[in-house]
Amino acid sequence: MRIGIFDSGVGGITVLHEALKQLPMEDYIYYADTLHVPYGPKPKEEVRTYISNAVEFIVEQQVKAVVIACNTATSVSIDELRAHYDIPIIGMEPAVKPAVEHNRRGNTRVLVTATALTLKEEKLQNLITKLDNEHIVDLLALPALVDFAEELEFSEEVVLPYLREQLQGYDWSHYETVVLGCTHFSFYKDMFRKLLPEGIHIIDGNRGTVKHLKRTLAEAGALHKGSGNLVFYQSGVRVEAAAELEKYGRLLKRLDQIQI
């Protein structure tokens, strides 16, 4: 029984990378919905249909859990998926809670970055309303980072000017934490680090999500049932071409190289 990891594209590779570190002896299916990426700019009902079809396919592959390694997909569909399937469906959400709890002590602000759809979804808005009593959370959509990651564009000459332009309007003396609320964004942690003051914490939800997965499997007595086998699918088609497999290898290697 394998673990399914789903994303609209390559962003969930950042979650897979963390899973391979914490749970190296599991078997994995990674499903990228490459025919429909990106989800962020699309209408909610259209995205919900893509997610439903993808997760149905993954569950048919005899998985013991599915990680929705996409903040947008989680915000749009997680409740419906959990109601429909009897295996664990692990969702993701921007790491607002730890950021707010940490920053409240110092009376500093939090910047949550994500896709436009995640930022306007009711799930995130309700989370912020519940946690942010002191109104210290600001929101910033960074849609181009999704496009860059899907194109395997990690050149500082291309990405840094975009990030610099988007981040330049903030007085960073009032901030302490930046939340990377889209799994694609974690490919660019090192570039955020180059642009942000040293005292700014940069966090994502990947480690916490995999810890939750690990705890859920342990409670079900379903940990460590594999051998580290990894299979990739793109919109329902198994990836077997060497060039495509090499692409995923490059993405995992990219994450190995980010040390912050």
Of 70, 78, 111, 179, the catalytic one is 70
What is the DSSP secondary-structure string of the chain?
Answer: -EEEEEESSSTTHHHHHHHHHH-TTS-EEEEE-TTT---TTS-HHHHHHHHHHHHHHHHHTTEEEEEE--HHHHHHHHHHHHHH-SS-EE----SHHHHHHHHHHHT-EEEEEE-HHHHHSHHHHHHHHHH-TT--EEEEE-HHHHHHHHTT---HHHHHHHHHHHHTTS-GGGEEEEEE-SGGGGGGHHHHHHHS-TT-EEEESHHHHHHHHHHHHHHTT--S-S-S-EEEEETTEE---HHHHHHHHHHHHHHHH---
Looking only at the bridges linking them, the beta strands covering 230-234 and 237-238 are antiparallel
Whether the ω angle into residue 143 lies within 30 degrees of 0, i.e. cis, is no
Joined tokens for residue 198: 């040293």
Q: Is 182 a catalytic residue?
A: yes
Instruction: Let me know: does 187 contact 154? Beta carbons within 8 Å.
Output: yes
Of 68, 110, 111, 182, the catalytic one is 182
Instruction: Let me know: does 206 contact 189? Beta carbons within 8 Å.
Output: no
Q: Is 70 a catalytic residue?
A: yes
Give φ, ψ of 15 to 5 degrees: -75, -40
Q: Would you please indicate which residues are annotated as catalytic (active-site) residues? A: 70, 182
